[in-house]
Structure 1
Amino acid sequence: MYVEALGLFDKLMCYPYLKPDSYTYPSVLKACGGLCRVVLGQMVHTCLIKTGLMVDIVVRSSLVSRYAKCNSFEYAIQLFDEMPDKDVACWNTVISCYYQSRKFEEALRYFGMMRRYGFEPDSVTITTAISSCARLFDSERGREIHKELIKSGFWMDSFVSSALVDMYRKCGHLEMAIEIFEQMPKKSVVSWNSMITGYGFKGDCFSCVQLFKRMYNEGVKPTLTTLSSILMACSRSVQLLEGKFVHGYIIRNRIQPDIFINNSLMDLYFKCGKVESVENIFKLIPKTTPVSWNVMISGYVTEGKLFEALNLFSEIRQSSVEPDAITFASVLAACSQLAALEKGREIHNLIVERNLGNNEVVMGALLEMYAKCGVVALELFAKMLLSNVKPDRVTFLAILPTCSHAGLVDDGLYHFNEMINVHGIAARVEHYSCLTTLLGRAGRLHEAYEIL
């Protein structure tokens, strides 16, 4: 009850013969942090300096925590570094500051310092340290922390166990994650989600659905993350029945799906050829970001509904949503397949207007569109290199057919060698196929046969 606590503090300050003490200020600072009252927190800080209460370790620790909760991480760390005495809560605050600032190496460095100074880490410290290892995909350090916990007989609560499951899963050690998960007496929703996501990345939607059923039977309510992870797994493995099962659960339980669930459902139904189902979902969902539009446009292109993709691109331009790089790349793919040069040039102008000329994905799609339309795109390729945009395999898959259409055999061979020797890109079957076509059209059959 932060508001009430601060209200009482205001009343206390009105009494001339009563003064707040070292028991008052930690609660006041906690309330300031809870409400993110930055100005009031700074005023309290000033009072503490004037009254000399900054020497109290609990007060100072509370002040560090207050700055951290108001996202003033630099002040929190500065105060911490100036403290002559520190407690575990204070160490936890500063380690969490670095973690929340995505400075995971620093979080682990302070974790190491804490132990060297003789402080015993608690569940909060361990959880943050393991989570930092997970973010860095550093299974070695994570495994070392785990071994030390076992050796010291540290009681691993649901937070620590969930962090370990997530760390091993993110680092690709799914078997180890399963072992810890199955040993947990009480499994948190975070640990269930970690396991489902782990199986999801493998495309094992059957295991995801089994875990989902177990989760439900054990009385753990699935979150939106749970549902979107399962749907993504169903989409990856193109399993319509399992996806429909989850979709049915969402409808029956009147769950309001978020953007991730909606997009996963659309992607699943597109991959299973259920275009009408996708269109029904798209009609009902809010379209405030380009993500859902992109799923629809790329899905239409994949299904060969190229005019529908172009029409949808016209719709997004008339809406309040700004198309992004993926939107342009997807609609350019439609232009490529239709050999719609004029439409492609129109989209090219829009790309220039939006300063997306340096985007690798967009430039690759543009090159491919011009190549498919039979227009020489070497000038655009040269501009791409001058812009310091590194070409990839797709870029050269667009350049080689362009040289073939224009009869520029030597240029094609030059760019093929450049791809391998300058950019270090390994040639694939598709590149060799383009090269043999280029040589064949030029009548250089002997060289083409050699490559074959």
Structure 2
Amino acid sequence: MIKNEIRETLPLPTRIALVRLQGIIMTAHVELELVRLDDGYVLVTKNQSVEAINLFKTMLRNENKPNYVTVLSVIRASEKWQPMVRGIHGFTIKMGFELELPVVTALVGVYSIWGMVTAWKLFNHTKDKDVILWSAMVSACVKSGEYVAAIEPFRKMQFCGVEPNYVSIVGIVPACVNIGALRVGKEIHAYSIKVSSISHVNIQNSLVDMYAKCGSLKASVTVFRGIEKKDFVSWRTLIHGCVENDRFNEALSLFYEMRYCCFEPDESAIREVIGALSKLDEIKIGQCFHSFVLKQGYLGCVSVVTALLHMYSGFGDIESARSLFDHLKPKDLITWSTMIAAYAQSECPSDALDIYQQMQSANEKPNEIIYVSLIQACSSMAAEEIGEGIHAQVIKSGNTSNAFLISSLIDMYCKLGRISQGEAIFSECPNKDLICWSSMINVYGINGHGHEALKCFLGMLKSGIKPNDVFISVLSACSHFLEYEGWNWFHAMEERFGVTPKLAHYACMVDMLSRQGNIEEALEFVNNMPIEPDKRIWGTLLAGCRKTRVSVEISETVANRLLL
């Protein structure tokens, strides 16, 4: 909102133009007041858009001629209603405002909300575009998710002799981030240095974010270190980048450095650091940071406490997690979900169900994530009756198309020995994705139904779904007397589907050969692996040696490799 002192020293049209140039033109959800000028009426932002439109209609009924700045305000106020915008667009043509660049810019921004076709038409029909219109088109593409298309106007404006300003540069960088266009991002970085726009902290922050999200953390740090006047966003962006790139120690060090530079963290920065601590598995540092959070007064913040719950459950310290959970009031759905998942994954399934009962008493409705955790808990406890009850709730809630839920239900029923029920759920799933198919293939494999697993896998391929790590389940299923098929699919992985075998795939092959008593062939296979075999592979081979009559020499060789 523009301060009163500025209002008093500038003419109203100039003030509104200034607001537009600053990139904060009047938004939709604002009330407008009618101000009388010599050349007509101008609507100034204050609260509701509906009132703005009604005032505009009143103005027209009173035969008061609006100027283009008035129309600008009404366009923004009407952005929720496409027919209204089209009507106002027609009005601008009738009044001769269609060549006014501020009006075109506003229309481009509003039309882009419903798709870019009309926005592009309007943009392309405008001959003398200024930097603000070019920048608006870049931003419209980015906001509409057309990241590749956003690069076109940014490059073309330079070809047309229009120099991008800092708003243009800040607008285009997110497009590079979302499509991983590191090369284009580097070009923009070089251009911003060339035109001296690099001194803007907003551009520097966006470049820090771009490099980090494109996996070039070293360049991100270099840009960050070059910022003379870092703001809080600078620190938070790089901390987030370190966490996203699994550089958790660096994230923690940056946090300490940020505080040394007298920047106090906000809620999001604290969550980032807690997430880093969870990955570092440093429980003592985590406890110290918990104390810091307490001192800073963030223990009443639900999102921060939820992050601490994740951290403690990751450490295996369920008691500390439960203590935090019990003291937090009010609890949101994410908090309930986190605590239920912590118990379900920590071999405390009965406690997960207890928390769910508390949640129901608090009149909270579960989401898909909570249902998945509850189903996992029932599966671990072999709690068939409770599991059926949860299944009934899932059906009642209308979440029967969620892939993770379907997968969990299939797994639960099959672990309870009710494979036919799992098959029925799988068959009734309308849109089977890779998760559903993988779950069913895995169930067949675990239960020794190799032929059914392969039949299911072929059905998945026929449906057009490209396999990835599902080959682990396929190869595992082949270990049950399907050696020929196992070799075929192992070779087809890379040759036909482009999936490079990992240790888990090699382990399946070793298990398959060992189960068939082909220990010498299995040992030769391991020795010729292109990657270093781990203890799991040597352990599988040793187990095969125990079940098969092999020479002492081979058994000793395998045992010695396992002990290395």
Same fold, TM-score > 0.5, yes or no? yes
Give the conservation status (yes or no) of the 8 Å contact 1:130–1:163.
Answer: yes
Aligned equivalent of 2:447:
373
Aligned equivalent of 1:341:
417
Give the conservation status (yes or no) of the 8 Å contact 2:147–2:176.
Answer: yes
Give the conservation status (yes or no) of the 8 Å contact 2:493–2:499.
Answer: yes
Taking the aligned partners of 1:249 and 1:325, their CA distance within structure 2 comes to 40
Unaligned runs of 5+ in 2: 1-29, 34-42, 44-51, 353-375, 380-385, 527-564
Q: How does 1:370-449 map to 2 (within 5 A)?
A: 370-376=444-450, 377-393=453-469, 395-405=470-480, 407-449=481-523
How far apart are residue 121 of structure 1 and its match?
A: 1.1
Aligned equivalent of 1:3:
32
Taking the aligned partners of 1:300 and 1:346, their CA distance within structure 2 comes to 26
Task: Please tell me whether residue 24 in structure 1 is matched to residue 65 in structure 2.
Answer: no
- The amino acid across from 1:22 in the alignment is Y
CA shift digits 1:314-366 (9 cap, x unpaired):
37543648373234545666778xx5432x5534433433335x322232233
In structure 2, the residue corresponding to 1:84 is in which secondary structure? Answer: coil
Which stretch shifts more, 112-121 or 75-84? 75-84
Task: Please tell me whether residue 49 in structure 1 is matched to residue 87 in structure 2.
Answer: no
Task: Please tell me whether residue 100 in structure 1 is matched to residue 143 in structure 2.
Answer: yes
CA shift digits 1:254-275 (9 cap, x unpaired):
55334xx676544433321123
Taking the aligned partners of 1:429 and 1:218, their CA distance within structure 2 comes to 45
Aligned equivalent of 2:403:
325
Give the conservation status (yes or no) of the 8 Å contact 2:197–2:203.
Answer: no
CA shift digits 1:11-49 (9 cap, x unpaired):
533433x4112343334334445xx45444333222222
Change over 3 Å in CA distance of 1:445–1:146 after alignment to 2? closer
Q: How does 1:214-363 map to 2 (within 5 A)?
A: 214-215=257-258, 222-245=265-288, 247=290, 252-258=297-303, 264-278=307-321, 285-287=331-333, 293=337, 296-297=340-341, 303-305=346-348, 309-311=376-378, 314=387, 317=391, 318=393, 320=397, 322=399, 324-329=402-407, 339-342=415-418, 345-355=420-430, 358-363=432-437
Aligned equivalent of 1:134:
177
CA shift digits 1:191-235 (9 cap, x unpaired):
333211121134343432343355456665645543333233222
Taking the aligned partners of 1:84 and 1:438, their CA distance within structure 2 comes to 70
Give the conservation status (yes or no) of the 8 Å contact 1:209–1:242.
Answer: no
Give the conservation status (yes or no) of the 8 Å contact 2:166–2:197.
Answer: no
Q: TM-score, normalised by structure 1?
A: 0.82
How far apart are residue 186 of structure 1 and its match?
A: 3.9
Taking the aligned partners of 2:110 and 2:471, their CA distance within structure 1 comes to 54
Change over 3 Å in CA distance of 1:362–1:243 after alignment to 2? farther
Task: Please tell me whether residue 111 in structure 1 is matched to residue 186 in structure 2.
Answer: no
Q: TM-score, normalised by structure 2?
A: 0.67
Identity of aligned residues (%): 25
Change over 3 Å in CA distance of 1:431–1:89 after alignment to 2? closer
Give the conservation status (yes or no) of the 8 Å contact 2:239–2:272.
Answer: yes
In structure 1, the residue corresponding to 2:220 is in which secondary structure? Answer: helix
Change over 3 Å in CA distance of 1:430–1:169 after alignment to 2? closer
- The amino acid across from 1:12 in the alignment is M
Taking the aligned partners of 2:484 and 2:293, their CA distance within structure 1 comes to 59
Change over 3 Å in CA distance of 1:425–1:206 after alignment to 2? closer
- The amino acid across from 1:83 in the alignment is T
- The amino acid across from 2:190 in the alignment is K
- The amino acid across from 2:59 in the alignment is L
- The amino acid across from 1:44 in the alignment is I
Aligned equivalent of 2:21:
none
Give the conservation status (yes or no) of the 8 Å contact 1:123–1:156.
Answer: no
Change over 3 Å in CA distance of 1:431–1:132 after alignment to 2? closer
In structure 2, the residue corresponding to 1:447 is in which secondary structure? Answer: helix
Give the conservation status (yes or no) of the 8 Å contact 2:407–2:435.
Answer: yes
Taking the aligned partners of 2:406 and 2:281, their CA distance within structure 1 comes to 26
Give the conservation status (yes or no) of the 8 Å contact 2:514–2:522.
Answer: yes
Aligned equivalent of 1:208:
251
User: Of 63, 71, 76, which aligns to 2:107?
Assistant: 63
In structure 2, the residue corresponding to 1:53 is in which secondary structure? Answer: coil
- The amino acid across from 1:380 in the alignment is C
Aligned equivalent of 2:536:
none
Change over 3 Å in CA distance of 1:154–1:445 after alignment to 2? closer
How far apart are residue 98 of structure 1 and its match?
A: 0.9
- The amino acid across from 2:477 in the alignment is T
User: Of 524, 527, 530, which aligns to 1:450?
Assistant: 524
Give the conservation status (yes or no) of the 8 Å contact 1:368–1:398.
Answer: yes
Which stretch shifts more, 409-418 or 153-162? 409-418
Aligned equivalent of 2:166:
123
Change over 3 Å in CA distance of 1:364–1:265 after alignment to 2? farther
Unaligned runs of 5+ in 1: none
Pick the structure with greater CA Rg: 2
Taking the aligned partners of 1:119 and 1:172, their CA distance within structure 2 comes to 31
